[in-house]
Amino acid sequence: MSDSSQLLKGLMDGVILKIISREETYGYEIYTKLQLLGFTDFAEGSLYPLLLRLEKKGLILGVKKESKIGPSRKYYTLTESGIEEMESFKTAWDKITEAVKVLWEE
How much is the CA Rg of the chain, to the nearest whole Å?
A: 15
The enclosing domain of 24 has a CATH number of 1.10.10.10
The Cα 75–Cα 62 span in angstroms is 5
Q: How many domains does the chain have?
A: 1
pTM for this entry: 0.89
Q: What is the pLDDT of residues 57-83, one digit of tens each?
A: 999 999 999 888 888 999 999 999 999
Amino acid at 80: E
Q: What confidence score (pLDDT) does residue 9 get?
A: 77
* Bridge partners of residue 64, in order along the sequence: 74
Q: Are 8 and 42 in contact (CB under 8 A)?
A: yes
Q: Residue 47 belongs to what domain range?
A: 4-105
